[in-house]
Chains A and B, each alone.
Chain A
Amino acid sequence: MGKGIGVYIGRNEVIAVSAIRTVTGPQIAAFAIESINPEGSQEPVIGKEAQRIKKTSPESRAILKALEKIKEPGAFVNVAVSPLQVVTRHFIMPVVPKKDEPGAVRNEASRYVPFKISDSSLDYHSHLTHKNVLSVTATAIRGEVLDTYLEDLRSAAAKVLVVEPVYNAVGRAFAALNMVGKTKTHGFVVLQSDGNVNVTLASKGIVYLSRDFILSGKMEEDKRRFHDELKASMDYFYKLTGGEAIGQIFLAGSGDLKLWVEYLEHAFNYTVRFDVASLPNAKNIPPETLHAVLVAFGLALRSLRYRSPMGDIQLLPKTERRSDLPQLLKFLGLECFLIFILLAGVRYGGFQPYLMHLEGQNEAILGPANQEFPAFASRSTEDLTSEKEKMSERAGQLNGFFGDKVSTSAFIMSLGQGLPQSISLDYVSLEDTTGKEMPQTGKRKRRLNARGICYLGNAEKETETISAWVKALSGKKIIADSFTEIKLEEIKRESFRNRDLTRFRVLGE
């Protein structure tokens, strides 16, 4: 079950009511009437709290105390201010397109409202009464007055949901108590403790008149004044509506309302019925108190979704409006849910398929390898790298060893082939100078060392023969493949057994 808080800020008192919805209808859960005391708090307060209270206005202090009394400090509240601060005017105007209606109403209202519309907050209710005739009831409050009230309320930690005129709240309260029908022509009179009386006359949901007058406090004078003002208002209403007479008037507010009801019924010769509110579920609340808190009760009922028969006016500018707690929580919940859904969508709709694709890719790599080589799964990268290095080293060794395709027999044969008869080799060596590290290409470094003699009896011929043989040797494929150069390292003349011959040494590297 919901709860609504209404705060009425009069000129000399603040009334706060907490209302709840029960199966038998709306009920007052708590109420407080707090005087606006310009002198400050009567209760001694010390420290920071005292400093804070000193800075706040008397209205703010009264609001704070009233809310504390009903145990709703910092609550979301619906507010009405003294009708003296609010202007309500009824006028008719030609029908305009719906989107142009707010601007047109503001323009038209500026003719009737006694302060600058641009500096005020205005709301209106419109009805199509005749063809192309719009019946408009506009209610406005000066911007600076509203700002002052809002500041007072916010200083008292109240969260303002709605600011509406008093007649809306009173109408809602009587409607919630099933005392007023929607189609009836009726009036609402609210008496404030400061002597101000607000009269609102309405027909079929249209407020035709809402005005105020002040009572002096002298009973006989006030009785006459009350009757005259009410009579004048009803006559004006009669003329304005083209012959509709007020049949019932509801009274609410401070003072002895029963006395006023008796007097007014008698004064109007019982042609008009006067009623006050009665709340069957609030027997513990004295009737005078119930009448006094009825405006605040009507305000509280707005949060419980009770509608006023005269429409729901909102004087709070759009920029100052805020959602009530359930609405805000609902929005935040929805917002969080949508963000969650969005990110969950990104996570499971965007990233999950990609992750699955990566998993599939990984499986596509590992699966065949595991099938082909069952031992693969148990081998780590480091293990495999280490094994590969070892095997590469062994393979390198063997490649180096087997890579040497030179056949030693073929090599020796090539030395013998084409050796001139005049040349005799007495020493041949073929050495491997590669060292311990074998090249991967298999090409070994070799050194050829050959010594011999040549005898032809002519030194020049011997030298030519040796040179020609060395040249021929260099041209042989097997020799050319093994050595980059075959050179005649040494050649000299020598005597052997009384013969002169040529000794030479050939080096290949």
Chain B
Amino acid sequence: MSTVKIHEQQKEWAIKAAAGVATFLFCYVAMIHPVFQNIASMRQSIAESQKRSELYREVQGLKESLDGSESVLATVTERSQLLGKISDIAGRTQIHIATLTPRTEPDGGYIRLRMEMNGQGTFFSLLKFLQAVEKIGAAIKVRDISLLWKPSSTPQEGQYPLQIQIVFETFLKQRGKKNNA
């Protein structure tokens, strides 16, 4: 049986190589390996910072946009003033309001206000009324409208031949909302 002879010099080189490899591994584990973790963590931190920064800018942008949009919205406490304004406009434009019923319901961050109006008038008085309501601002929209031509035999009733049913809709700001940013 032949055996491989390992010379002393080879053994010594093996010891030196093993010591070198062991030292390399030790130094690598102690010095280099943690750097990769640091780099990974730093990259993650950068990505998170970028994301946070972008998110914050988006939130700021949205906040500004909302501030602009919400500036035309009335608050819950101003609901009665809105009803009063509509009544005033109707009076000025010769629309006879039979009923004006407000109804509110929470919708997301706002309160949706629907005002159902029943009344009578003429076609032209209706046009004037709608134009005047639209001038209040962008906050009040006509959701539904129905007009029924109902000529009457009596002269008094003949003044308002048009049965008008309008549903106005708007959003009201919640009161006491605080600025988070």
Contacts and interface: CB of A to CB of B under 8 A. Distances in A.
Contacts of A426: 148-150
A355 interface: yes
A358 B171 contact: no
A366 B49 contact: yes
A401 B138 CA distance: 9
Interface string B134-157: 100010011111111110000000
Residue with the greatest number of chain A CB neighbours at <10 A, chosen from B8, B9, B108: B8
A359 interface: yes
B72 to A, nearest CB: 8
A412 B130 CA distance: 9
Contact of A379 (B20, B50, B56): B56
A409 B16 contact: no
Contact of B24 (A323, A331, A343, A365): A343
Interface string A393-405: 1110111011010
Contacts of B69: 395, 398-399, 402
A71 B52 CA distance: 73
Interface on chain A toward B: helix, strand, loop, or mixed SS?
Answer: helix
Interface residues of B, number: 64
Interface in A353-395: 354-355, 358-359, 361-362, 365-366, 369, 373, 375-376, 379-381, 384-385, 387-388, 390-395
A395 B74 CA distance: 16
Contacts of B109: 390, 393-394, 397
Interface in B30-70: 31-32, 35, 38-39, 42-43, 45-46, 48-53, 55-56, 58-60, 62-63, 65-66, 69-70
* A interface, size bucket: 35 or more
B35 A347 contact: yes
A340 B171 contact: no
B83 interface: no
Interface string B1-41: 00000011111100110011001100110011001001100
Contact of A408 (B15, B59, B62, B134): B134
Contacts of A365: 46, 49-50, 53
B66 A409 contact: no
Interface of B: 7-12, 15-16, 19-20, 23-24, 27-28, 31-32, 35, 38-39, 42-43, 45-46, 48-53, 55-56, 58-60, 62-63, 65-66, 69-70, 107-110, 123, 126-127, 130-131, 134, 138, 141-150, 171, 180-181
Contact of B42 (A319, A332, A358, A379): A358
A388 B58 contact: yes
Contacts of A160: 8
Top 3 nearest A-B pairs (CB, nearest first) are A409-B130, A429-B146, A408-B142
Given A351-B35, A393-B109, A335 B19 contact: yes
B150 to A, nearest CB: 8
Interface on chain B toward A: helix, strand, loop, or mixed SS?
Answer: helix
A379 B62 CA distance: 16
Contacts of B9: 318-322
B39 A401 contact: no
Residue with the greatest number of chain A CB neighbours at <10 A, chosen from B50, B110, B138, B143: B143
A484 interface: no
A286 to B, nearest CB: 37
A399 B131 CA distance: 22
B118 to A, nearest CB: 14
Nearest to A432: B143
A336 interface: yes
Interface string A276-297: 0000000000000000000000
A428 interface: yes
Contacts of B148: 426-427
A328 interface: yes
A397 B63 contact: no
Interface in A394-435: 394-395, 397-399, 401-402, 404, 407-409, 412-413, 416, 424-432
Interface string A171-212: 000000000000000000000000000000000000000000
A409 B135 CA distance: 11
A344 interface: yes
B11 A430 contact: no
